[in-house]
Amino acid sequence: MGCINLAEIIVNGGKRLSGEIAVQGAKNSVLPVLAGAVLCDGECVIHNCPDLSDVQTSIKILQNFGAKVTYNNKTVTVDCRSISYYEIPESLMREMRSSVVFLGGILGRMKRAVISSPGGCELGPRPIDLHLSALKKLGVEITEEHGFLNCNAENGLLGCEIHLTFPSVGATENIILTAATAKGVTVIHNAAKEPEISDLADFLNSAGARIYGSGSDTVYIHGVDKLHGTTHTIIPDRIVATTYMSAAAVTGGEVTLTNIMPSHMVSILHTFRESGCDISVKGKSLKITSPKRLYRVPTIRSLVYPAFPTDAGPLLIAMLATAQGTTVFVENIFENRFRFINELNRLGANIKTEGKVAVIEGVKSLSGAKCVCPDLRGGAALVVASLVARGESEITNISHINRGYDNIVGVLASVGADINVKE
Ligand code: UD1
């Protein structure tokens, strides 16, 4: 896998983007699906897996369990029949906070799991209390010592009713994974409805699971004895699609995106249209045609699906930094989402934040500068803004971007951006 590390991205802004981009598979689907493969007694062939450092980390976790895994041309082949180990090493937990989703898979399979406490991440504290209390209800004994969580379900996993006080994506996935081979029926009330949850359920069902209602707020999981091998194709990444749409829009460009799922992007498409972009959708593709200058949009609020996704916030903020008028963005999911805004202001943006509110006063133009990626989507937002900034921008700390984007530099260059990687 060809991820770039310790490199920086150099952008000479001002090029109008035009052309066609095939959107990669969804990072947030691949991770739980690979965790689901742990439950399968047979080979799983998973297509449309983007080449990302987070996917590499997931493969390392699987190999560490004893699985046989190969990655070839966006397809992961994973055979977990030889699994003999149930610990996720601390180094891999640190590399990827979402490693916690492997907890459900390995518990279902081995009835044991050891992970280090995930702690915080760039976006602030990332508690897993909802995951753990649900697992306890399913019969998992959890003890914490020396920064490790010891999980034991040797007395069996038993289906139950779980009410989530917040529809956490990761908790919903972990419950589905743990309950898929538990005895009896598990019901999740107030489940997360994100499309990646349905993708996980579709994958597991194709391997013999009986999961109903995914994509709604009540999910029923009828436990089965075991799962078999299967073949699955990961859904398109709606946040990566948003990134390339923002890149087109901010440069006044015209770009066609293929391999997308427009029905997963309703709130996002609505916001782009409000900013003055023309979007025509045809099957699994769309064409975005942007005005010379974007307009402000009414207040955007990030919320759980199907409302506006928190991960798309930084991209829209970057894009609206040069719009005509002032936009207000309210972040309701993560505490530290706005860390990239200081860096964006170094490019000449005029954005003020107070608590969970960002006020984006559109400026006429941005100018290239050195800036540092604070996190994955914040880093992508800096790339978007730099595409329209006059002169050269130098973006460092790009390992964050490589966690979620498969060749962002090559993709943007292919539609006319002046962008390079400097090793
Ligand atoms: C997933 C996505 C991430 C996205 C997020 C929200 C993956 C790998 N990551 O993250 O890109 O931004 O959904 O759409 O799929 N919370 C608790 N206790 C818990 C669990 C969560 O308080 O036990 C809180 C979190 O701190 C956060 C909120 O709930 O404030 C949302 O978290 P959650 O939906 O769990 O997000 P993730 O699964 O971590």
The tens digit of pLDDT for each residue in 340-397 reads 999 999 999 999 999 999 999 999 999 999 999 999 999 999 999 999 999 999 999 9
Q: What pLDDT digit, counting tens, does each position of 321-346 carry?
A: 999 999 999 999 999 999 999 999 99
Instruction: Kindly give the distance from the C-alpha atom of residue 98 to the centroid of ligand 1, in angstroms, as a whole number.
Output: 9
Q: What pLDDT digit, counting tens, does each position of 229-267 carry?
A: 999 999 999 999 999 999 999 999 999 999 999 999 999
**CB count in 10 Å sphere of residue 84:** 8
Sorted by sequence, the CB contacts under 8 Å of residue 142 that are 6+ apart come out as: 132, 135, 136, 149, 150, 151, 152
Spatial distance between the Cα atoms of 310 and 222, rounded to a whole number of angstroms: 31
pLDDT band at 182, cuts 50/70/90? very high
Instruction: State the total domains in the chain.
Output: 2
pLDDT band at 84, cuts 50/70/90? very high
Structure tokens at 216: 């709604």
Q: Which of 58, 165, 169 to mutate to test the pocket of ligand 1 (most atoms within 8 A of CB)?
A: 169
136 in a domain, yes or no? yes
Residues 220, 268, single domain; the answer is no
| CATH code (residue 281) | 3.65.10.10
Instruction: Kindly give the distance from the C-alpha atom of residue 42 to the centroid of ligand 1, in angstroms, as a whole number.
Output: 30
pLDDT in the model for residue 300: 98
| Last-in-domain residue among 233, 263, 282 | 233
Q: Which among 49, 121, 160, 371 is annotated as catalytic?
A: 121
Evaluate: CB of 313 within 6 angstroms of ligand 1: no
Could you tell me where the DSSP H helices lie in 74-230?
Answer: 90-95, 102-110, 129-137, 169-179, 195-206
Evaluate: CB of 127 within 6 angstroms of ligand 1: yes
Reported as type and span, the H/E element at residue 235 is: none
DSSP 8-state class, residue 286:
E
Residues 284, 366, single domain; the answer is yes
DSSP 8-state class, residue 24:
P
- Residue 377 contacts residue 28 (beta carbons within 8 Å): no
Structure tokens at 248: 């087109």
pLDDT band at 121, cuts 50/70/90? low
Evaluate: CB of 31 within 6 angstroms of ligand 1: yes
Q: Is 121 an active-site residue?
A: yes
For the segment 283-305, the average pLDDT, to the nearest whole number, is 98
pLDDT in the model for residue 117: 79
Mean pLDDT computed over every residue of the chain: 95
pLDDT band at 6, cuts 50/70/90? low
Structure tokens at 24: 């990669």
Residues 66, 191, single domain; the answer is yes
**CB count in 10 Å sphere of residue 322:** 24
153: containing domain: 27-233
pTM of the model: 0.97
Residues 258, 305, single domain; the answer is yes
Reported as type and span, the H/E element at residue 83 is: none
Residues 250, 218, single domain; the answer is no
